[in-house]
Structure 1
Amino acid sequence: MRVALVTVGDEILAGDTVNTNAAWLGRQLAERGVDVDRVTVVPDRVGEIARLVNEQRAEFDAVIVTGGVGPTHDDVTMDGVAAAFGRELEESEAALQWLAEEGGYVREELADGTAALPAGGEFIRNPNGVAPGCNIGNVYVLPGVPDEMKGMFEVIAEDFTGVDRFTATVEADEPESALIDRLIEVQEQFGVTVGSYPGETVRLKIQGEDEGAVADAKQWLAEQVEIPE
């Protein structure tokens, strides 16, 4: 399963907020064997959101959009997603009912637009907040508030499944550039992939669908590189 992540927010593009949502979702999806092939940040503009969602829903198995969900003036994500599908926004009776019965909110006291979703979209409950999410086609819209986004993802997590993968790591006390030949060899010999992450040492992350092959690759690689003392 191939997934694209779209984060909406002028504050992220301006550097005022770090995009922790994409990092968290990437880890969650990777653990489920799902490939995150694209991460994009777009401004709070309906046309930009609509164009990107329309492109990516055709290219990927699923698109997860976070941020810009709610009734305030700059919460335009639902408008953009609706435009991508050629739909209008409409009040979701399912969302209003859930907010009243489970959330303890009074309908008449909710801000206008709180439960506005793209027509035909399926309401996704928000365990940690008010703004509802939405699933329309292969597009999932979640809030940008991290706690709310995480809670809502747990509601839909079972929709995202892939191939089981196994991982192992080796620390190398050598320059990353000096490891290239051995990294190529271990991948070819054991049918795994290896990512290298430099720091004080170089962390080598081995990944594959065969647990035995990953274990063998780790052992081989650990014998071929200089290990930190």
Structure 2
Amino acid sequence: MRVALVTVGDEILSGDTVNTNAAWLGERLSERGVSVERVVVVPDRVADVAREVNEALAEYDAVLVTGGLGPTHDDLTMEGVAAAVGVPVEEHPEAVAWVEEYSDYEHADLVPGTTHLPRGARLLPNEAGVAPGAEIEGVYVLPGVPEEMKAMFDHVADEFSGEPRHRRIVDADEPESALLDRIDGLRERFDVTVGSYPGDHVSVTIQGPDEDEVEDAAAWLRERVDAVEQ
């Protein structure tokens, strides 16, 4: 399964807020064997949300959108997603019923628009907040508040699956440029993907669907680098 993540929010683009939601979702999805192949941040504009969602839908199996839910002036994600799939946004009876039954609010107390979703969407209840999420045509719309987003994703996590991938990390006490020949050799000998990440040392990440293959590849590399002392 291949997915794209779209984060909505001017505050992300300005640097006022760190995009922890994308990192968390990427980790959770990868654990389930899902391939996250695109992460995009867009401003709070209907046209931008619609364009990115529409493009992602054409290429990926699912799109997860976070941020911009609710009734305030800059909460435009539902409108953008609705535009991407060609439907209007309207009052969602199931969302109204859920708020009445499970939240501390009466529908009449909510700001108008709180329970508006794209027509035909499936309600994703917000068990950690109020503004509901939605799923429509493979687009999952989740809140931007991390606690609410995590709770809502847990509600639909079983809908995301793929080939499990195994990972090993080899820490090398050498410059990244000096490792290129051995990384090339690793790729030639084993059916794995390899990434290298410099810092105080170089962490070489080895991943693949076959656990034995990944372990053999990691062992091969460890024998050929100056390993970091633990």
* TM-score, shorter chain, exceeding 0.5: yes
Cα distance in 2 for partners of 1:91, 1:33 equals 36
Q: Alpha-carbon deviation of 1:52?
A: 1.2
Q: Alpha-carbon deviation of 1:67?
A: 0.5
Cα distance in 2 for partners of 1:185, 1:51 equals 41
**TM-score of the pair, normalised by structure 2:** 0.98
Q: Alpha-carbon deviation of 1:185?
A: 1.0
- Matched residue, 1:225: 225
- Matched residue, 2:83: 83
- Matched residue, 1:56: 56
Q: Secondary structure at the match of 2:151?
A: helix
The within-5 A match list for 1:133-212 is 133-212=133-212
Cα distance in 1 for partners of 2:107, 2:10 equals 30
Are 1:213 and 2:216 an aligned pair? no
- Matched residue, 2:70: 70
Q: Secondary structure at the match of 2:104?
A: coil
Q: Secondary structure at the match of 1:5?
A: strand
Cα distance in 1 for partners of 2:76, 2:139 equals 16
Aligned partner letter, 1:177 = S
- Matched residue, 1:30: 30
Q: Secondary structure at the match of 1:161?
A: coil
**TM-score of the pair, normalised by structure 1:** 0.98
1:102-151 per-position Cα deviation (integer Å, ceiling 9, x unaligned): 12321111110011000011100111000100000010100101110011
Identity of aligned residues (%): 60
Q: Secondary structure at the match of 1:207?
A: strand
Q: Secondary structure at the match of 1:180?
A: helix
Q: Secondary structure at the match of 1:108?
A: helix
Cα distance in 2 for partners of 1:172, 1:215 equals 16
Cα distance in 2 for partners of 1:59, 1:225 equals 39
User: What is the CA RMSD across the aligned residues, in angstroms?
Assistant: 0.8
> Which residues of structure 2 form unaligned runs of 5+?
none
